[in-house]
Amino acid sequence: MFNLVVLTGRLTADPELRYTANNTPVTSFSIAVSRRYKAGEEAQADFINIVAWRQTAEFVTKYFQKGSMIGIEGSIQTRRYVDKETGKNRTAFEVIANNVQFVEAKRDAVAPAPEAPASFSNVGANDFTDLSGEADDDLPF
């Protein structure tokens, strides 16, 4: 038997780290996954519930936020529970994330602005040193 899920999508909310009674980290979140559609059709998305445990949960809550594109590899799991409002039995389908990855470059990064490259017009002929007389033994490569 084979149970493997590979998804890419955007988080629908900021993930929140929780802990079980045994102090095991866990987070639950959902991602919006676009469906394929033909030209002229309206774009649609599926909202998939994801659960991550331990280091994966800590990683997701530290580096991902609402709107982040995420890649997930995991398996589908079903969970049965009783609906508190109606008292009826329900089944939840969720993906247990075994591996998560960044899918896009970091957005809104706070990084120093790159310096403008030096213009060759600012370099004069006297700014260079002639190395023709130097021994190649002094080169590090």
Q: Which helix (H) or strand (E) holds 79?
A: strand 69-82
Residues 39-68: tens digit of each pLDDT: 888 889 999 999 999 999 999 999 999 999
Number of domains the chain contains: 1
Residue 10 belongs to a domain:
yes
Please give the residue range of the domain that contains residue 89. 5-106
* Single pTM value for the model: 0.70
Residues 75-119: tens digit of each pLDDT: 999 999 999 999 999 999 999 999 999 998 876 544 444 444 433
Residue found under tokens 């130097």? 134
Euclidean distance between CA atoms 10 and 69, whole angstroms = 4
Residue 43 belongs to a domain:
yes
| Residue 99, domain CATH | 2.40.50.140
Euclidean distance between CA atoms 82 and 49, whole angstroms = 18
